Amino acid sequence: MVTQCPICPGGRYTYRYNVTGQEGTLWWHAHSSMLRATVHGAIVIRPRNGDHGYPFPKPHKEEIIMLGEWWNRNVFDLARKAFLAGTLVDPADAYTINGMPGDLHRCSSSRTFKLKVQSNRTYLLRIINAAVNTPMFFKIAGHSFTVVGADASYTTPYETDVVVVSPGQTVDALMVAGERASQRYYMVASPYNSAHPDVPFREGAATAVVEYAAAGAPRTRARRRPLFGPMPPFNDTATAHRFFTSLTALLRPGHPTVPLAVDTRMFVTVGLGLAACRPEQTRCMQQGVAASMNNASFELPTAMSLLEAHFRNVTAGVYTRDFPDQPPLEFNYAKPPSSMDATTAKSTKVRTVRYNATVEVVLQNTGLLARESHPMHLHGHNFFVLAQGFGNFRRDAAVARYNLVNPQERNTLAVPPGGWAVIRFVANNPGMWIMHCHFDAHLPIGLAMAFEVLDGPTPETALPPPPADLPQC
Ligand SMILES: [Cu+2]
């Protein structure tokens, strides 16, 4: 209901999009209930001249590593149960690597993803966090990585033994198979939870196995337990923050970096709150958990998609253009007083921006119900991440820390828990673009807003008419 009505069962819709200016790993997924848990896949955008076009030495091989979550129950029923009661969706029962929880779980002992490598070769791992609600730490025992890309934008090579990916994010990392070939090594994805104990959470880890091809290796090798490296504790915000703030963009000729002049400045609070139960929420007691941006809890329209209403210029009953540039109330966002009212209300507000405007958004997490690192994802654009920090944003102190030289370019940013982040983007893609938390526990309860980007002056910079097979409501 943002760019189109849902594709009905048996229906079809052809997407076309232009990947110019992006190389690396993206992913596609359903945005319907919690069906994203299973309806998703990888998109790899390779350089025009193949793997010789990388801005790093050509890897021997590429591997997609998709991290996910597994529920024993039907995810549709879980989402429905949470909606009716006005509660958060139950945490996953297990985590997965390429669809399998790994041999620490008995059910998966004979079905575990194996990465087969040859000694001293370099592998390009395309790591995607396709989990529904959980940021992940990712490590391979005995090995380290050189991060070369994030969200399909190249980064300055960054050496690390741990990769951190929040839902919606991707990381491209090189790994040299430089360890003893007689040993096997666990690849581990374990949860990072910044909200515990206020929000329910599943401990555990998913594993896969890195196996060296070694001619004439003894058969017993296969039965020896793989090496397991220590993982960060689930609440290790310091490790997550170090990873998230250490990435910078790889400057390349012909690829512009962050614009210095800003047209539109916004300060937007993101977090959890409470909203009055609706009549259809039959098991909800007065107030249910809700989420909001600038205290507006986003609700999808039902009559028509946002984009269709925008194109036809019939906004009445679909959306309003009054998404605020500031929260309605200034308070101690990171540590609100316990008496603070956490009530929010449902609405469908968008922020209208003119074509090619440079927009700067300060995202500030609130601790009203629980502070938490929300992975904020913007559709239709990449943004530059200028600075991140903890506590309340203070412009004077923060501006001095802005990276205006080579800030990382992303489409999903994990705002530090009880902290803030500053992003900047050029609104050069006409249409309706949602910005939302990539936890599916938070998106349907309102942690979203939309940018309405107006047409530019030429046919090429204007929104094209809908295609013939646009799904009808
Ligand atoms: Cu969230």
Instruction: Let me know whether 242 and 273 are in one domain.
Output: no
> How remote is the CA of residue 334 from the centroid of ligand 1, in Å?
15
Answer for the pair 269, 294: CB distance below 8 angstroms, yes or no.
yes
Q: Give 241's contacts (C-beta < 8 A, 6+ positions apart).
A: 388, 416
312 and 452 co-located in one domain: yes
H-type alpha helices, 44-89: 75-85
Q: How confident is the model at residue 256 (pLDDT cuts 50, 70, 90)?
A: confident
CA of 421 to the centre of ligand 1 (A): 14
Do 453 and 374 lie in a common domain? yes
Q: Are residues 209 and 306 in the same domain?
A: no
The DSSP output letter for 372 is -
Does residue 218 register a pLDDT over 70?
no
pLDDT > 60? residue 222: no
Q: What is the DSSP string of 311-335?
A: HHT--TTT-BS---SS-SS---SSS
Task: Please state, rounded to an integer, the average pLDDT across all residues of the chain.
Answer: 94
Query: What is the average per-residue pLDDT within 317-329?
Result: 97
Question: Which stretch of 37-41, 115-119, 233-237, 395-399 has the lowest confidence by average pLDDT?
Answer: 37-41
Comparing 115 with 106, the larger pLDDT belongs to: 115
Mean pLDDT lowest among 149-158, 249-258, 408-417: 249-258
CA 375 to ligand 1 center in whole angstroms:
6
Contact between 473 and 410 (Cβ < 8 Å):
no
Ligand 1 centroid from CA 436, angstroms: 8
Task: Work out how many domains the chain is built from and give that number.
Answer: 2
Structure tokens at 134: 């959980």
Is residue 221 over pLDDT 60?
no
Check whether residue 90 and residue 157 sit in a common domain.
yes
276 and 407 within one domain: yes
Radius of gyration from C-alpha coordinates of the chain: 22
For residues 103 and 242, membership in a common domain is answered with yes
Please indicate, yes or no, if residue 278 is contained in any of the structural domains: yes
Q: Let me know whether 237 and 293 are in one domain.
A: no
Say if residue 242 is in the same domain as residue 268.
Answer: no
**Is 329 among the domain residues?**
yes
The answer as to whether 19 is a domain residue is: no
CA distance 313 to 307: 9
Please say whether the beta carbons of 1 and 299 come within 8 A.
no
Residue type for position 350: V
pLDDT score at 33: 79
Q: Per-residue pLDDT averaged across 303-322, rounded?
A: 96
Q: Is residue 189 part of a domain?
A: yes
Instruction: At 384, list the tokens.
Output: 């530059």
pLDDT of residue 217: 55
| pLDDT over threshold 80, residue 308 | yes
Query: Is pLDDT of 458 > 60?
Result: yes
CA of 374 to the centre of ligand 1 (A): 4
**Do both 190 and 66 map to the same domain?**
yes
Q: What is the mean pLDDT of residues 185-199?
A: 92
How far, in Å, CA of 254 to CA of 437, rounded? 31
What separation in Å is there between the alpha carbon of 386 and the centre of ligand 1? 21
Label residue 200 by pLDDT band (50, 70, 90). Answer: confident
194 within some domain: yes
Q: Looking at residue 57, what is its pLDDT?
A: 94
What domain range is 202 assigned to?
A: 24-246
Q: Is residue 17 part of a domain?
A: no
Quick check: is 398 in a domain? yes
Ligand 1 centroid vs 446 CA: distance in angstroms? 9
pLDDT for residue 215 is more than 80: no
Q: Which residues surround ligand 1, an ion (CB under 5 A)?
A: 374, 437, 439, 442, 447
Cα of 437 from ligand 1 centre, angstroms: 5
- Residue 102, amino acid: G
For residues 235 and 326, state if they share a domain.
no
Report the relative pairing of strands 40-45 and 24-29 from DSSP bridges: antiparallel
CATH for 363: 2.60.40.420
* CA separation for the pair 386, 356 (Å, rounded): 19
Is the same domain home to 277 and 404? yes
| Last residue of one domain, picked from the residues 246, 272, 299 | 246
